Structure 1
Amino acid sequence: MEAAGCSYQFRIALLGDAAVGKTSLLRRYVAGARGAVEPEPEPTVGVEFYSRALQLPAGLRVKLQLWDTAGHERFRTITRSFYRNMVGVLLVFDVTNRESFEHIQAWHQEVLSSQGPDKVIFLLIGHKCDLSSRSVSTQEAEELAASLGMAFMETSAKSNCNVDLAFDTVARAIEQALQQGDINLEEDWAGVRLLHRAPNPRSPSRKQDSGPCQC
């Protein structure tokens, strides 16, 4: 799906510890259900970005600029510099890695300290839900998400479970915030960019699947 004719560009980042599957999740979304995805991609160095165009239910066509960030501490100075210009953030942990879940609040706080809570749409992602050796329950993750004021969803890049739904959910929430005036366009902020003016679409009803992955 080409980006031509898109009305807006939304910058969305994937944040979380190293090896939780951020790159696999992002590549699966960009490639689509039939695309080939490396089983174990090389660790991200610094920041890499991808893009995909999306037609939202209300008729608005947007370009998603998707930023894949390194989870290793030695790259944090680089990745922090990008937080201010993000409108959407997927906070990703590995459901089989307890430590990655325990670090989610720190990742969340880093983003808030860079630009405040009003400009960012968050979604908590429990990745690798196709694996049986869990160390984080769905209920526990849902409780954390609720305490941080965001939705929760389980995904698997391997089985393509809820991958499109995760990114689409964030994009729809950003569109709704724009229509309601909760997020405003600013010249010195790249989180949302107007590409082409289009008629105002009707505001969609907010629908989010916060349940476990039905793989």
Structure 2
Amino acid sequence: MGVGKSCLLHQFTEKKFMADCPHTIGVEFGTRIIEVSGQKIKLQIWDTAGQERFRAVTRSYYRGAAGALMVYDITRRSTYNHLSSWLTDARNLTNPNTVIFLIGNKSDLEAQRDVTYEEAKQFADENGLMFLECSAKTGDNVEDAFLDTAKKIYQNIQDGSLDLNAAESGVQHKPAQPRTPLNTDQQPSKEGCQC
């Protein structure tokens, strides 16, 4: 709770910092269309509450997730210490090929740092997680965290480790709509034409 998950999402979707961000109750979501390898992709990002009393609710959102961003506050060791528990939930409740990205938020508060970059990087490496430190306030590395997660999900689709046809993949494929060819045989009527 209070690590800045909603602020990270707001920075990614709106490109601005929300200073007085209220605690998330249950779940909220945001969307953004990005481009990966020439493909337009709509990201639907679920922002779950970090409070323990909502944990049963948030667990249900792991199912069908193609990616998960686990966030801790670099200035509060207690948030880092809970990562193993959150990771266990994520691993137990998601597809084995779900991309999990560890984010150390509030990197703009270097003077108040309570968790070193090196120990968090080691935790990420030992657990096969992608890792970055970010600042929802300054926007530093926020774009990279979300885009790198999306690129890895896309890569998993391309190499076949994420099956688009499986409901639990968390990915919906929407083929491009075929363009309707113009019928050049018909000429518009000149009478009453407003062209």
More helix per residue: 1 or 2? Answer: 2
Task: Give the % identical residues.
Answer: 38
State which of 102, 127, 135 in structure 2 corresponds to 1:124.
102
**What is the match of residue 112 of structure 1?**
91
Whole-Å Cα distance in 2 between the matches of residues 182 and 196 of structure 1?
A: 20
Q: Is the 8 A contact 2:65 2:94 kept in 1?
A: no
**C-alpha deviation, 1:116, in angstroms:** 4.4
| Aligned counterparts of 2:72 and 2:58: Cα–Cα separation in 1 | 17
Partner of 1:159: 138
Q: What SS class does the counterpart of residue 88 from structure 2 fall into? A: helix
Aligned-residue Cα RMSD (Å) equals 1.4
Q: 1:89 to 1:19 in 2, by over 3 A?
A: same
TM-score normalised according to structure 2 size: 0.86
Larger Rg: 2
Return the structure number with greater relative CO, CA threshold 8 A, min gap 6.
Answer: 1
Report if aligned partners of 1:28, 1:160 keep a CA contact under 8 Å in 2.
yes
Normalised to the residue count of structure 1, the TM-score between the two structures is 0.79
| 2:6 corresponds to 1:23 | yes
Distance in structure 1 (CA, Å) of the matches to 2:116 and 2:160: 36
- Pair 1:139 & 2:118 matched: yes
Residue matched to 1:3: none
Counterpart in the other structure of 1:42: 22
Match of 2:129 in 1: 150
Q: Secondary structure at the match of 1:130?
A: helix
- The residue that corresponds to 1:192 in the other structure is 171
In the TM superposition, residue 115 of structure 1 has moved relative to its aligned partner by 2.9
- Between stretches 88-97 and 188-197, larger displacement belongs to 188-197
Unaligned runs of 5+ in 1: 1-17, 199-215
Native 8 Å contact 1:24 1:40 kept in 2: no
- The 5-angstrom pairing of residues 69-88 of structure 1 reads 69-88=48-67
CA drift at 1:190: 5.9
Residues paired across the two proteins, number: 176
Is contact 2:32–2:43 with CA below 8 Å preserved after alignment?
yes
Residue matched to 1:68:
47
Task: State the 1:151 CA deviation.
Answer: 1.9
Q: Do the aligned partners of 2:163 and 2:169 also contact (CA within 8 Å) in 1?
A: no
Q: Work out whether residues 52 and 63 of structure 1, in 8 Å CA contact, stay in contact via their aligned partners in 2.
A: yes
Q: Which whole-Å deviations, capped at 9, do the CAs of 1:28-66 have from their partners, x for residues lacking one?
A: 00012xx3x32130100000011000011x201100001
